[in-house]
């Protein structure tokens, strides 16, 4: 379950930033995740809640915005969003970059995934110390 590792990374980033800002409590963490990360929001939330116990992030809201896959077509030059409809890859989600996607403009298979395989903390909301 790669959600546990992702939750741990997200929590560590949030805790580091909160410490730098002198936070008393983390209230909310906003994350962007590409659809090719195949992160289950339910499993990610459960892992996050477990890891955040007894930290300043306990009871923080974890909000995840899923971003579509982006490709570049080497045949026609199209670059943009496509929706991935293939099977989930849980062996190593970074291998999703190797998935061949059809270009919606020309129908070609000479495409490269240029987005949708990453996740990151966009921002956090904190309660300041008084």
Across the chain, which has 130 residues, the per-10-residue mean pLDDT values are 91 97 97 92 96 98 95 96 73 53 90 92 92
Pair of tokens at residue 129: 């110390």
Q: For position 93, what pLDDT does the model report?
A: 47
Judged by DSSP in three states, 19 sits in helix
Q: Whose structure tokens read 């970074």? A: 94
Grouping H, G, I as helix, E, B as strand and the rest as coil, residue 3 is: helix
**pLDDT of amino acid 2:** 87
Q: What is the pLDDT of residue 100?
A: 67
Q: What is the pTM of this model?
A: 0.83
Q: Scanning the structure block, which residue is given the tokens 């020309």?
A: 106
Q: Which residue from 36, 45, 88 is spatially nearest to 64, judged by alpha carbons?
A: 45
Q: Are strands 79-82 and 61-67 parallel, antiparallel or unpaired?
A: unpaired
- Assess contact for 36 and 125: CB atoms under 8 A: no
pLDDT of residue 129: 80
Please give the CATH topology (third level) of the domain spanning 2-128: hypothetical protein PF0899 fold (3.30.2320)
Domain ranges of the chain: 2-128
């Amino acid at each position: 379950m790669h959600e546990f590792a992702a939750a741990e990374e997200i929590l560590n980033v949030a805790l580091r930033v909160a410490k730098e800002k002198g936070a008393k409590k983390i209230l909310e963490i906003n994350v962007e995740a590409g659809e090719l990360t195949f992160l289950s929001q339910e499993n990610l939330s459960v892992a996050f809640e477990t890891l955040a116990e007894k930290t300043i992030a306990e009871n923080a809201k974890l909000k995840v915005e899923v971003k579509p896959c982006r490709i570049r077509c080497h045949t026609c030059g199209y670059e943009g969003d496509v929706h991935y409809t293939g099977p989930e890859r849980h062996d190593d989600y970074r291998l999703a970059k190797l998935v061949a996607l059809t270009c919606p403009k020309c129908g070609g298979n000479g495409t490269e995934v240029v987005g949708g395989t990453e996740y990151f903390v966009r921002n956090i909301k904190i309660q300041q110390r008084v």
